[in-house]
Amino acid sequence: MAKHYTFHREIEQLKKRFLVLGALVEDRVRKACTIIENRDLVLATEIINSDWEVDEMEIEIEEECLKILALHQPVARDLRLLIAIIKINNELERIADIAVNIAKRVQTISKDASLSFSIDYAPMSTRVLSMLKMSLDALVSENAALARQVFIDDDEVDELRNQVYRKVVKQMNGDPGHAAGLLNLYLLSRHLERIGDRATNIAEEIIYLVEGEIVRGEMN
């Protein structure tokens, strides 16, 4: 009985720490989306310099999961929970890395002061942030139906990226002198798309956690 109590106490502590990581990553992405619009280089530097916080927390959570697995050897749903946390933990760390890549991309774009062409990334940023929040909310509530909603938004994000690609290619044809800046501008859409993909991966793990069903690749 004491071992059972210890196991569930450790699981609850792990979940609380995991939710802190989720909130931290969501904040990073929101800031990254903000600097795409306002080119705030101070905020960009803050995102880059604070990346270590997410990295350290990701390592600590993975180590805690492995310790619980080794000590308690959980089965069934408890085992699925730990596996899901390990996988989602990795996805969150990678999402934070993408936020850093966005910040670095904005720094590079800002160096080309003569580049007047711009893309309105607000619709794509809003959609990606919604996907990330939805996936994290689905995790907290263990709601597979909510997780499945993320797949719908992923298709819309892909289409928005395609729209950016067409606009940038058209501009490159008429303004080859700014090819480097335009390429970086397009790559912002690739970074946002990748965050959407990672949010989709998180949604897949939640469905596995709740239903025990592997849906990877079946929803695209």
Prediction pTM value = 0.92
In a domain, 11, yes or no: yes
Task: Report whether pLDDT(220) > 50.
Answer: no
Segments forming the whole domain that contains residue 78: 2-211
- pLDDT at position 86, please? 94
Query: Is the distance from CB of 83 to CB of 37 less than 8 angstroms?
Result: no
Quote the number of domains for the chain.
Answer: 1
- We report the CATH number of the domain holding residue 151 as 1.20.58.220
Distance CA 39, CA 33 (A): 10
Answer whether residue 207 is part of any domain: yes
Measured between alpha carbons, how far apart are the two ends of the chain, in Å? 44
Query: Following DSSP, what letter does each residue of the chain receive, concatenated?
Result: -HHHHHHHHHHHHHHHHHHHHHHHHHHHHHHHHHHHHH--HHHHHHHHHTHHHHHHHHHHHHHHHHHHHHHH---HHHHHHHHHHHHHHHHHHHHHHHHHHHHHHHHHHHT-TT-------HHHHHHHHHHHHHHHHHHHHT-HHHHHHHHHHHHHHHHHHHHHHHHHHHHHHH-GGGHHHHHHHHHHHHHHHHHHHHHHHHHHHHHHHHH----TTT--
Residue 217 lies in a domain: no
Question: How far is it, in rounded angstroms, from Cα 86 to Cα 112?
Answer: 41
| Whether residue 162 has pLDDT greater than 50 | yes
Residue 149 has pLDDT above 60, yes or no: yes
Distance CA 6, CA 79 (A): 16
**Distance between CA atoms of 107 and 117, rounded to whole angstroms?**
16
Mean residue pLDDT of the chain comes to 91
The residue among 116 and 128 whose pLDDT is bigger is: 128
Band of residue 72 on the pLDDT scale cut at 50, 70, 90: confident
Q: Report if residue 156 sits inside a domain.
A: yes
The answer to the question of residue 219 being in a domain is no
Confidence band, pLDDT 50/70/90 cuts, at residue 166? very high
- Please indicate, yes or no, if residue 135 is contained in any of the structural domains: yes
Q: What is the spatial distance between Cα 192 and Cα 158, in angstroms, rounded to a whole number?
A: 10
Cα separations (Å) of 203 from 131, 144, 211? 9, 8, 12
